[in-house]
A and B are shown apart, each in its own frame.
Chain A
């Protein structure tokens, strides 16, 4: 099984520790992932801004970079969702179809490809789980409150398998954090307000460590937490599952 690690552009530049945790976690699960250094981005920031045409060279570059791997694993559901859903704009060659199907969010890969249902380790903290919309509603990694009252999902199960962990019960289980890519600057007011409301839900319900499997949501939420000096630590789920302590 040839597995490539896709480290989204902002993680590469601002959150290298998340890429490292992803690589190490996979290694612990018996998967040696390779990081093709020519990789850049999935093109989503451009396409979400209405500039899909300008993103096409990025899409092609992405496919060329990853076409020789069986799986492309990324610690970001949003990028994976973009590759799977919106690379339909490319001519659907065998390579393009392969890469679209091979792209996996880290947690999805652990759950459905490696079929790992629980992980060893302890994390004796009160953890608030932030579900990213693209992972949840896009990639169906967790139940949606629009459909069912049952709160279940891949990451919830993996986290719950850690000793001593307590998951926060939120008032709004899966409301969007307001990041939204370029939305966070083009609609900065609403974006910030959504993030503040999301963090307040965690604070109100006792979250000590806020986590999720999509670093873009967490980058936004962390920015709000740090600005307001809130007593919350933000960590990517890969870091927790890899055994890092807050």
Chain B
């Protein structure tokens, strides 16, 4: 199943599509206002982009610097080549503690590695403590957005879910009362949590510390109450120095939600007395992407979600239509690296309008990478055969002025003569499902031009025979 088919399912509910589009556009506009208010915003983007480029160009060195600094802080550092190793390392730490109750704050990496089902299968209770994550965990769904994981749900949907799982009153949809119910429920889980798992927004090579940005404070509550903290990070989360962090925290929240800064920016450097802190550093396909010069820059991503909020396709197709952990434009350039066949339709789920590139706080050339993935997929024959052959045919036609002129004339004539029901049949013509075809003129421009008095001089040496 490709993106277009999943998108069509989403579009069936036109009102919900409107609501989804407008909700995310509201976030995009909030982001715009926050960006306009910072005169040096474009300089910040450039600086952030260069810091990330620099870091990626020396990633091996910075990773080793980070590991040494973290170990000097008394932190256990683990390396995982892939999702399987990542999950096994975490289960191992949990078992060494004899723990069975885990609280977890937001981490797209653990989603990517499918950590929750793995731990649950091994008898561990995992509670997502981010409100949005908890909602979709109750519902057995994947996040539909990396910052706003439950953005596909209305407050009434959340009311239904909490009625079933938390015993709130049927039909309750007041956000404040629903949030209060979640707070009470999560408080008990926090107090019982033996191991806290968190994601990482930034890892500082110089200090060995990890930085976690949340609005709910759930990471802090989890980590400070549990005996053990496990922070999971992809290798691309590094920044060289603590002084670089300010560049990114100024960009992150403004780009994500239009806030000047996240409510909590927590630095975790070393375990408290008698506690344990672990950091799991994960590759899972990232070095492969680092080895692709055209797509390397995708690793600069700081997961703000701005490209999703601005993407006119994402807003109208929903995050689940991408069927990948990270949806939207950035997901469409990350996913073919993981599984080219499965995600072949994603780089085509874009008009290449370029808005994603323009909002990206670290200046990833997202729409250019979408274009380049299309070429890789075309060369690998991962595009529909009908498309491949029609493009080959078109290539011949458009390289020959004579055939081009003849077929244009033929097409216009056919359009004029054939009945509307045939030319506009949705069975043959996807264009005509919602659009009229242009009214075919009797004469093409070139026909008209040839009939004009040729007062215009041609260049001296026309090199191509007409």
Of residues 1 through 32 on chain A, the ones whose CB sits less than 8 Å from some CB of chain B are: 2, 7, 9, 11-17, 19-20, 23, 32
Q: How far is the CA of A36 from the CA of B461 in the complex (A)?
A: 12
Contact with A along B425-456 (1 / 0, CB 8 A): 00000110111111011011111111000011
Also in contact, A35 and B449, with CB within 8 A (given A176-B312, A192-B435): yes
CB distance from B427 to the nearest CB of A (A): 13
Contact with B along A112-147 (1 / 0, CB 8 A): 000000000000000000000110011000001111
Do B377 and A50 touch (CB < 8 A)?
yes
Contact with B along A67-93 (1 / 0, CB 8 A): 111000000000000000010000000
Do A38 and B448 touch (CB < 8 A)?
no
CB-CB nearest in chain A for B461: A68
B286 at the A interface (CB under 8 A): no
Contact with B along A208-238 (1 / 0, CB 8 A): 0000000000011011101100000000000
CB distance from A64 to the nearest CB of B (A): 5
Chain A contact residues, majority secondary structure: helix
Residues of B within 8 A of A15 (CB): 438, 441, 445
Of A51, A175, A183, the residue contacting B350 (CB under 8 A) is A183
Q: How far is the CA of A223 from the CA of B463 in the complex (A)?
A: 39
Of residues 382 through 435 on chain B, the ones whose CB sits less than 8 Å from some CB of chain A are: 383, 387-388, 391-392, 394-395, 398-401, 404, 408, 411-412, 430-431, 433-435
B460 at the A interface (CB under 8 A): yes
Do B436 and A223 touch (CB < 8 A)?
yes
Do B456 and A133 touch (CB < 8 A)?
no
A190 at the B interface (CB under 8 A): yes
Do B404 and A190 touch (CB < 8 A)?
no
Of B375, B411, B440, the residue contacting A50 (CB under 8 A) is B375
CB-CB nearest in chain A for B401: A38
CB distance from A202 to the nearest CB of B (A): 16
Also in contact, A37 and B449, with CB within 8 A (given A183-B350, A188-B430, A190-B313): yes
Of A40, A175, A183, the residue contacting B399 (CB under 8 A) is A40
Of A148, A172, A179, A222, the residue contacting B36 (CB under 8 A) is A148
What's the tally of chain B residues with a CB closer than 8 Å to chain A?
A: 81
Do B430 and A190 touch (CB < 8 A)?
no
Do A12 and B446 touch (CB < 8 A)?
yes
Residue ranges of A at the interface with B (Cβ–Cβ < 8 Å) = 2, 7, 9, 11-17, 19-20, 23, 32-41, 43, 45-55, 57-58, 60-61, 64-65, 67-69, 86, 133-134, 137-138, 144-149, 172, 175-176, 178-197, 219-220, 222-224, 226-227
A-B pairs with beta carbons under 8 Å apart, 27 shown: A9-B398, A14-B438, A14-B440, A14-B441, A16-B445, A16-B448, A23-B449, A35-B445, A41-B398, A41-B404, A45-B391, A48-B374, A51-B378, A51-B383, A52-B375, A52-B378, A60-B399, A61-B401, A144-B358, A146-B359, A182-B387, A190-B4, A190-B317, A192-B433, A197-B21, A220-B435, A227-B435
Residue ranges of B at the interface with A (Cβ–Cβ < 8 Å) = 3-4, 7-8, 11, 17, 21, 25, 32, 35-36, 42, 310, 312-313, 316-317, 347-355, 357-359, 371, 374-379, 383, 387-388, 391-392, 394-395, 398-401, 404, 408, 411-412, 430-431, 433-438, 440-441, 443-450, 455-466
